[in-house]
Structure 1
Amino acid sequence: MPEASKEKKRPDPDVLLAKLNKETRGKLTVFLGAAAGVGKTYTMLKTAHEMLDSGADVVIGWVETHKRQETEKMVEGLPRLPAKEIEYRGKILHEMDIDAILARRPQIVLVDELAHTNAAGSRHVRRFQDVEEILNAGIDVSTTINIQHIESLNDIVAQITGVTVRETVPDSIVEQADQVQLIDIPPNELIKRLKEGKIYMPHQAELALNKFFRPGNINALRELSLRFTAYRVDKELNEYMQEHDIPGPWPAGERVMVCVSASPFSAQLIRAARRLARGLQAELLAVHVDTPRRSGSSERERDRIFRNMRLADELGAKTISIVGKDLTEEILRMTREHNVTHLVVGKPLRGRLWEWLNGGAVVDKLIRYSGGINIHVIQGNTEVKDEPKVKTIAPKKVIHWWHYIAGLLMIIVMTAGNWWWRHYLEPVHFMLLYFLPVLLSAVWWGKGPAYMTALCSAIFFDFFFIAPIFTFSISDLPYMWSLPLFLFVSFIIGGQTEKLRVEATLARQREKTTGALYSFSREIAAVVDIGVIVGILAEQVWQTLDKSVAVFLPQENEKLVLAAEAGPVKIDEDAGERAVAVWTFEHGEIAGHCTDTLPGARYMYLPLTTSQNTVGVLGIEIHEEILTSPQKRLMEAWAGLAAIAVERVKLAEQARQAALLAESDQLRTALFNSISHELRTPLSSITGAISGLMDTDGVYSENDKKELLETVKEGADRMDRLVSNLLDTARLESGMMQLKKDWCDIEDITGTALRRVGECIKGRELLVNIAPALPMIKADCVLLEQVMVNLLDNACKYSPQGSEIVITASQDKAAIQVSIADRGTGIPAENVMRVFDKFYRVEQPKKVNGTGLGLSICKGIIEAHGGTIQAENRPRGGAVMTFTLPWEEQPPMYMA
């Protein structure tokens, strides 16, 4: 029996640490259900009554009965802590009171609906965070949750039911539970309860029956719940077996493991194991063990292992690759760790002598030491020759005869030197010196020249230095053993040096490949333009592979077009090449040169495939008839990385469109609310004034009529400013605002703006400080006037009657600076940067009219002129809005 199996397995330190942490925490019990209405809360309350009767200190922290009579009856008789009241937007909401629970410190607390989102203002955002705090205080918690609220199953539930659940709980919360109790009822009974109104109100129940609570949906959710619970039970069983050092396996549940190697016959084993696992309804594991004896496998064998493990992954197996000293020992260790009940291995194809020389047949050892594991030995008469879609072969070695000649020249030079020193050194010293040409030949040219150099060294040494010299006879008996030993050591040195040289070359190639892939991934990490990504892809592939590259992407009409290319040879509009690219895109398979599909093409086409679909095609011009396995894997790596990048950009674009749509909806809602309010006031005043003017009974005097006309004008001006702001906002957002620049005088613009807001500034102290000889600036005078009007209007709205408004204009070396200050309440410090956002208005005790667009329009106009605008609070109260505009020397004007 292998030694490792005799030794007692050491406990996992992480498991021990987790158990120590659990001793100080409270215990979590989760009542899990497939859907609402299966009886989770009812069962939790029933269990609480039983614990209360047995003397346990049980209280209700939070239970939502949803006005179900059966649940409300179960609440009666259980101690219940009062809920905490939280005021939110004028409403009183009730949430679980954590502080009351911690102060009460019961033995067990009941918390319903673990996935609930707490009201704003609560200590934690989510209820499961409340539960964690209670558990950390050493209090046991019983809670409820539906399977659709578990994070890892959220997308699966959305596919099944068509409903995306927003409130989810991390898997770790449920996985760390001390007990998970599955609550399950048949679908017919659940639907019956729904129709009877025991779950939802009648109108809600009818909608739920048509949407979520269909029999197929319920069965699918039940299966998810059963699988989740079974996985947890299986995990607990494995932990128990490891904790108590039980070798196993315990046949509580079936699990199949297949051994994967570099043999093409492994593909048959994987398929046979998959059929066995399907018949047993068991989980399938595919394990490859890399041992020192197999670590020096050829490139072809490594490529075959890669394909076999990928096949296992495609068939739904859990793939595991490990490194170990003994193959049998590692396989048995994996079977014990994963509680495997069925092991699938291949029948040996070589004779007993070969197996004996290699330490015995692995199958015989597995059968001898398997214990309670069922061993399935699959017969294979001949190894099936797998035919990859891409033809690959190891690179052919080119024999350079001058390497052999150079090795011979080194021997001649070494012999001449030794002959010169023959009177001063012993012959055995010359033998050691002959190792140097052998080592250099192996390092520089490989084992072939090294072997030839070693053989020539032995011949030259015998001919020139072993008596009788100038003959191949050996009279000294010790040299009869020394020469064969010299050749043996030389061959070992040459072979091992060649191996190290090849490994170093492969390491440099892998480093270059990895560096190129890393450089590509780093360059495209922050790029959101697909055109830029495929351009970088084409350039990087060309520089790495030294082959012309073409990238094809589909358009909105699904037509494939050339998106980028790189290299000395540009792909032409050959219909045949494009047809191969289209076939690759439609079928999602490799085609073109060096493949068995449309091999007449000049390019090899690889689909850019993601988990969802094919997003493009990568074409690489191939001159060779057959590629090497590293080249093939490198091309597939480029294609996979590019596919992920393209899909990321498309998903980002979809997210951006969704965000724009949401922002547009928000903007439209805010706009409608603002306009409906802002238009109603001036329209009402205009309508009332016109009604008074149309009165023909002579009730109104001339002064009254004049006031009514002023009211009409004031309302019209207000509506005009509102419409102007809306139009300006639309032009700014669409980029259609065109500046009509001319030489403008800030003093004239200020005067015109003051006249336009004359009614607004009545009753206020106005101070205007414009620097003398202020130069003119080149700008759009009408838009600058609009900026001044909006800033003055804003100052009037947010300052009391009788306060001062100060207009200041000055000049520095590069800009004209204009500021408008008031003595209002100022701007909250945390919102100073937000005052120029659309629809933002500072909260005021009194009602302030406006849409919140004026300052955002000012910001857009000033920035369009190349200037800046900012808001600040004044030292003794109030706010100051300052904008700066660049200025240039006005050219001299000549009179005709």
Structure 2
Amino acid sequence: MTYAAALGICLAAVLLAFPLAQVLDMASLVLVFMLAVVLAGAWLGRGPAVLAAVASVLLFNVVFVPPRFSLQVADERLLFTLAVMGLVGLIVGHLTASLRAQARAAAASENLVRNLYEISRALGHALSVAQVDDIARRSFWDQMAVRATLWICHPEWRQVSPEPAPAGLAQRALHLAATKPAAGEPVERWGAGEAHVVPLHGPMALRGVLGLQCAQTMAWGDNERQWVAACAALIGSALERIHYIDVARENAVDFEGERLRNALLSAISHDLRTPLASLVGLAESLQLTRPAMTPQQDDIARAIAASARRTAAMANNLLDLARMESGTVRLSRDWLPMEEVMGAALAAAGSMLDHHHTVVDVPDDLPLFHLDPVLMERVLVNLLENAAKYTPAGSTVTLAACAGPDHLSVSVSDNGPGLPTARPADMLRKFERGVRESATPGVGLGLALCGAIVRAHGGQLNVANLPKAGVRFELVFPRTHPPDLPPEPALSRATENP
């Protein structure tokens, strides 16, 4: 069809030049045919332009070169004119067709960039995976008449697009997702040219896969592949952005809930301290009343005092934990030998360890620790009492310390039944107990408070079940060197006068 149009342009040039032949010379008429070649190249392309150049030479020779209406040339000098005319026509047609192709490529690139800009702007405003899926389906349908199906991993692979996808395409997409293809991998053809599977990579990880299906066989060129790759990159980045928005929103909710919980616990524990102290004092005062109480009444008073003390200790733990997590507690740190802190902790927890074997393992060359002695003693007392409460009588509780090249550590371990949970680190969370319902008193605040104090010192509290039996709590601190002591001033001896 385009070649017939090229011949039609050449015939139009003949009709235009025929009345002009009476007033113009042959050199001027050649320009009319060159115009036909230019128009054929600009409108129809390279092949029709070449045909127009050849047809123009032949028509010019037949119609205007004597003897007319014949392929013969009376004047041999005109052969050179016809040859140059054909050569120039071929060159002009080629250049014009090249300009036409470049113009079309530039227009296609401009359309591609504009389309990608619109998609990028739309994805930039998307706040949910459903919106991303809707944008992707509309974009692929408008640009390529292709149906797009989106699968994402959040937290497991699932289809987002509402339209059902062919079973084979779904299986291929999920298989591709399981193999975790590298970023930049070319689009993969599936089936007999009927569908493609495209991985959607975000900056950090594979976020999903996109299945593209068409009723007809898809023959993609470079522009289509570049457009698909660019869209896949934009969609992957949008999915990753939405993922981290969801993570940030969940963390913000958790943080706000934790802040409110700490404020509530702080207020409750602060208001409970005074009445609990009064209750302990009143229960102890009952034992001093006259006349003396009966043994049953004395046991009741002692039970009231013991329960009030436990409740007061619980309220103190709540208040101290809230203060530690809010950062309002200032550490009074000093360079001290850990042996002194460990000895004070053993003395404070002595009554709890009466029915256990206690082993202390401290090397002779243990360096000084930079710590708050009161808070660190409280940590060790809590750990020792925790070991005594959850191990049977006769068990061994080991308190040890050691020094490494870049860390210092203190550990409390036992050979009891250990922690029942599969994740021992969960025991460091607030209100977490190894056994939910137990006759052992406590609500799961001691270990959380220990962890908060250790973190305030710049260290870390680790917990793990021992291979054979028991559990081990280890306090790990970064090793720092104490400052150098100033040199002692030299004593000057007074000189006595004779």
Q: TM-score scaled by structure 2?
A: 0.51
Q: Which residue of 1 aligns with 2:174?
A: 582
SS in 1 for 2:158: strand
- Contact 1:589/1:606 (8 A) holds in 2: no
What are the residue-to-residue correspondences of 1:738-887 with 2, within 5 Å?
Answer: none
**Superposed displacement of residue 652, structure 1:** 2.3
**In the alignment, what sits opposite 1:425?**
24
- Residue by residue over 1:517-557, the C-alpha shift from the partner in whole angstroms, topping out at 9 and shown as x without a partner, is 2112212224331221222122222212221111112343x
Could you tell me how far apart the structure 1 residues matched to 2:4 and 2:129 are?
55
Match of 2:41 in 1: 442
Aligned to 2:260: 667
Aligned partner of 2:173: which letter?
A: A
For residues 41-120 of structure 1, the aligned pairs below 5 Å read none
> How far apart are residue 434 of structure 1 and its match?
0.8
Partner of 2:223: 630
Larger helix proportion, structure 1 or 2? 2
Tell me: CA distance 1:443–1:512, structure 2 relative to 1, closer, same or farther (3 Å): same
For residues 48-77 of structure 1, give each alpha carbon's deviation from its aligned partner in whole angstroms, at most 9, with x where no partner exists: xxxxxxxxxxxxxxxxxxxxxxxxxxxxxx
Structure 1 match to 2:149: 550
Q: State the match for 2:235 in structure 1.
A: 642
Q: Which amino acid aligns with 2:135?
A: I
2:263 and 2:203 map into 1 onto residues whose CA distance is 40
Structural mapping, 1:288-687, within 5 Å: 402-556=1-155, 558=156, 560-564=157-161, 570-572=163-165, 574-589=166-181, 598-600=190-192, 602-622=194-214, 623-624=216-217, 626-678=219-271
Distance 1:601 1:491 in 2: 39
Partners of 1:524 and 1:625 in 2: CA distance: 26
> Structure 1, unaligned stretches of length 5 or more?
1-401, 690-695, 698-896
Shift of 1:644: 1.3
- Counterpart contact for 1:608–1:643, Cα < 8 Å: yes
**What do the CA deviations read for 1:661-713 (whole angstroms, capped 9, x no partner)?**
33332222222222333455688899999xxxxxx99xxxxxxxxxxxxxxxx
Aligned residue identity for 1:413: A
Please state how far the C-alpha of 1:624 moved relative to its aligned partner.
2.4
CA contact 2:169–2:190 (8 Å) conserved in 1: no
Equivalent position SS for 1:434: helix
- Tell me the amino acid that sits aligned with residue 105 of structure 2: L
**Hey, what's the Cα distance between the residues in 1 that align with 2:96 and 2:160?**
47
CA deviation vs aligned residue, 1:194-226 (integer Å, no higher than 9, x gap)? xxxxxxxxxxxxxxxxxxxxxxxxxxxxxxxxx
Aligned amino acid, residue 151 of structure 2: F
Question: Which fold has the larger relative contact order, with Cα–Cα distance below 8 Å and residues 6 or more apart in sequence?
Answer: 2
Cα 1:494–1:588, aligned 2, differ >3 Å: closer, same or farther? farther
Q: Partners in 1 of 2:193 and 2:81 — Cα distance? A: 60
Q: Which residue of 1 aligns with 2:301?
A: none
Summarize the Cα distance change of 1:467–1:602 in structure 2 as closer, same or farther, 3 Å threshold: closer
Judge conservation of contact 1:454–1:490 (CA < 8 Å) in 2: yes
Alignment partners' CA distance in 2, 1:598 and 1:542: 19
8 A Cα contact 1:443 1:498, kept in partner:
yes
Q: Tell me: CA distance 1:614–1:601, structure 2 relative to 1, closer, same or farther (3 Å).
A: farther
Task: Name the aligned partner's letter for residue 448 of structure 1.
Answer: G
Question: For 1:567-625, what per-residue CA distance to the aligned partner results, in whole angstroms no more than 9, with x for missing partners?
Answer: xxx544x43222111111111349xxx98775358421111123543221101114325
Offset from partner CA, 1:356-379 (integer Å, 9 cap, x none): xxxxxxxxxxxxxxxxxxxxxxxx
Distance 2:58 2:238 in 1: 62
Cα distance between partner residues in 1 of 2:193 and 2:67:
68
Q: Is the partner of 2:68 in helix, strand or coil? A: coil
| TM-superposition CA deviations, 1:134-169 (whole Å, max 9, x none) | xxxxxxxxxxxxxxxxxxxxxxxxxxxxxxxxxxxx
TM-superposed CA distance for 1:643, in Å, is 1.0
Please give the alpha-carbon distance, in whole angstroms, between the structure 1 residues aligned to 2:4 and 2:75: 31
Contact kept, 8 Å, 1:577 with 1:602, in 2: the verdict is no
Q: Partners in 1 of 2:59 and 2:194 — Cα distance?
A: 53
SS in 2 for 1:606: strand
DSSP 3-state at the match of 2:196: strand
CA distance in structure 1 between the partners assigned to 2:96 and 2:122 by the alignment: 38
Q: Secondary structure at the match of 1:524?
A: helix
Q: In the aligned structure 2, how far is the partner of 1:601 from the partner of 1:451?
A: 35
Aligned to 2:151, the other structure's residue is in SS state strand
Distance 1:595 1:530 in 2: 22
- For residues 184-333 of structure 1, what are the structure 2 equivalents within 5 Å? none
* Residues 554 and 603 (structure 1), Cα distance of their counterparts in 2 relative to 1, 3 Å cut: same
Kept in 1, the 8 Å contact 2:194–2:217? The answer is no
Partner SS state of residue 175, structure 2:
helix
Secondary structure at 1:618's aligned position in 2? strand
Residue 458 of structure 1: how far off its partner (Å): 0.8
Deviation of 1:562 after TM superposition, in Å, equals 2.0
Structural mapping, 1:163-182, within 5 Å: none
Q: Is the 8 A contact 2:3 2:51 kept in 1?
A: yes
SS of aligned partner of 1:501? helix
CA distance in 1, matches of 2:161, 2:247: 23
Task: Classify the secondary structure of the residue corresponding to 1:462.
Answer: helix
Counterparts of 1:535 and 1:625, CA distance in 2: 22
Aligned residues: 283
Q: Is the 8 A contact 2:193 2:217 kept in 1?
A: no
Give the superposition deviation at 1:563. 0.4
- Paired with 1:502 and 1:596, the residues of 2 have a C-alpha distance of 29
Aligned to 1:470, the other structure's residue is in SS state coil
Distance 1:646 1:596 in 2: 21
Q: Is the 8 A contact 1:576 1:601 kept in 2?
A: no
Q: What secondary structure is seen at the aligned counterpart in 1 of 2:160?
A: strand
SS of residue paired to 1:423? coil
Task: Give the AA of the match of 1:514.
Answer: V
The alpha-carbon deviation at position 444 of structure 1 amounts to 0.9
Instruction: Rate the CA distance shift 1:597–1:406 in 2: closer, same or farther, 3 A.
Output: closer
Q: Conserved in 2, the CA contact under 8 Å of 1:451 and 1:494? A: yes
TM-score using structure 1 length: 0.29
Which sections of structure 2, spanning at least 5 residues, go unmatched?
A: 283-288, 291-498
